[in-house]
Amino acid sequence: MLTLQVINENPEKVIERLAVKHFDGREPIMRIVDLDKQRKAAQKQRDDNAAELNKMAAQIGALMKEGKRDEANAAKEAVARLKTANKDIDDNLKSIENEITEILLTVPNLPYSGVPEGRTAEDNVVEKEGGPMPNLGEDALPHWELAKKYNIIDFDLGVKITGAGFPVYIGKGARLQRALIQFFLDEAWKAGYVEVEPPYVVNEDSGIGTGQLPDKEGQMYHCQVDNFYLIPTAEVPVTNIYRDVILRQDELPKKNCAYSACFRREAGSYGKDVRGLNRLHQFDKVEIVRIERPEDSYAALEEMKDHVQGLLEKLGLPWHILRLCGGDMSFTSAITFDFEVWSGAQKRWLEVSSVSNFETYQANRLKCRYRGDDKKTHLCHTLNGSALALPRIVAALLENNQTPEGIVVPEVLRKYTGFDIID
C-alpha cells in the first residue's frame, strides 16, 4: 500500500498519478490526509499526557516524603483522570489507524512515470519483438485439435474429473509439461535464482501482503473452513517469505524462483479466446521473485525482462514485449511488461508472462525492510515475473511446430523429454 509519507508530501500529485490507472483517488486520499492529521494530534496529546504523568509521579513521591498526604492524594486523583483520558485517546488512535489502513488497502499503487496513458489492452505499447514466425498452411490445426489427434491432453476427461479448465496431460503431453518446468527452473538457477518449493495454499495475511486481498478475492479459490486461499501464482507465498523481515543491506538482492500449480477462478471468462489451453483454472508456472534496494530495482527489472526474452528465444517462439498502459495494469504494480507469443494456427498473440516492479507497495504491506548503512530501516522494492507460465507456451509450441510427421520438440527440451517429436 502507499505510504503516508508519499501521500502527505503531495496529495494532489498522488491523485493525479492514480488517474493514470483510471482510479478516482480524491475522496480516499483527502480522507487519509484528514485522518492522519487527527492521528498526529491525538498522538501529540497522548505524548503530552505521558510526559505529565511522569512529572506528576515524581511530584507525588516528593509530596509523600514531605508528609503532604492531602496534596499527594489530589495528585493521585489527577493521575487517575489522565490515565482515563489516555485510554480514550488510545481507543481513538486505534480507530483512526484502522480506518486509515482500511482505506489504504483500497487504493492502488501509483504508476511509474514511464507508464503510458490508456484505458484498455488496445492502448498497450509494443516495445520490442523477435523470433521466427511460423510458416503454416491454411490447414494448420489449433492446439486443442492437435492435443486430441496425438492423445497428449484430454480436456473432456478433465471436465469429468473436476470441470472445465482442468485438463489432463497424457503420455508425451505430460512429459512435455515436466520438461518445460525443469528447463525453466534450470535456466533460473543458472541466472542466480535460489529455488524454493512453497505451499500451494496461503492464509489471509499472505494474500493481503502481496495485494491479492482485498482486490482479487473473487478470482481466488477460498477454502472457507480454514480460511485458506489456493495460490493464483507462486509470487504470493514466495514474496511472503520476507513478510515482517528486516534484511541486512549486504543480503540484497534476494533472488528466488519457484515452480507451482496456480489456481484461478477466471470468473466471467467465455468465448473462443478461452478454448483449449488459452485460459485455465489450474495451470503450471515458474515464477521469479526479487527483493531489491530501491535504487537497484529498475536495473533488476531489465535483467528479469532479458531473462524471460532469453527463454522464448531458446524455445524458438515469436515474441513481443508490451509496456502496459495505466488502465491495463494490475492494482499493485508500478509498471508491468507483458510478453506474448504468436500462436500460428489461432493467428493471435497469447500472453505468457508479466514482469512487474511493485516498488514499495507490497513491501509496505509486508513490512519487508532492510537496514542501510545509515543504520535506519528502509522499505525494499519487490519485483516478480512469470518465467514462464506453461499453458500458452504449450499451445504455441504445438501449433507452430506441427508438421505432417508430428510435432517437433524444440532442441533445448529434448534432453528432458527423451524424444524429439510427438507422433
Find out whether 104 and 32 touch, Cβ atoms under 8 Å: yes
Interatomic CA distance for residues 202 and 209, integer angstroms: 11
DSSP symbol at 295? G
Q: What is the residue-level pLDDT of the chain in tens, covering all 423 positions?
A: 999 999 999 999 999 999 999 999 999 999 999 999 999 999 999 889 888 887 877 777 777 777 777 777 777 777 788 888 888 999 999 999 999 999 999 999 999 999 999 999 999 999 999 999 999 999 999 999 999 999 999 999 999 999 999 999 999 999 999 999 999 999 999 999 999 999 999 999 999 999 999 877 789 999 999 999 999 999 999 999 999 999 999 999 999 999 999 999 986 555 557 899 999 999 999 999 999 999 999 999 999 999 999 999 999 999 999 999 999 999 999 999 999 999 999 999 999 999 999 999 999 999 999 999 999 999 999 999 999 999 999 999 999 999 999 999 999 999 999 999 999
Interatomic CA distance for residues 134 and 148, integer angstroms: 21
Please list, in sequence order, all residues whose beta carbon lies within 8 angstroms of the beta carbon of residue 104, skipping any fewer than 6 positions away. Answer: 1, 2, 32
Query: Given this model, what pLDDT does residue 150 score?
Result: 98
DSSP symbol at 150? T
Question: How many CA atoms, within 13 angstroms, populate the side-chain half-sphere of residue 298?
Answer: 6
Interatomic CA distance for residues 199 and 231, integer angstroms: 8
Helix/strand/coil percent split, the chain, to 5: 45, 20, 30
Interatomic CA distance for residues 133 and 319, integer angstroms: 9
Q: What is the pLDDT of residues 323-380, one digit of tens each?
A: 999 999 999 999 999 999 999 999 999 999 999 999 999 999 999 999 999 999 999 9
Query: Given this model, what pLDDT does residue 66 score?
Result: 75
- Give CA 399 to chain center in angstroms: 31
Query: Given this model, what pLDDT does residue 268 score?
Result: 53
H or E stretch covering 128: strand 125-130
Query: Given this model, what pLDDT does residue 62 score?
Result: 76
pTM equals 0.93
Closest CA to 398 of 337, 339, 350: 350
Closest CA to 380 of 292, 250, 249: 292
Domains of the chain are 4-104 (1.10.287), 121-422 (3.30.930.10)
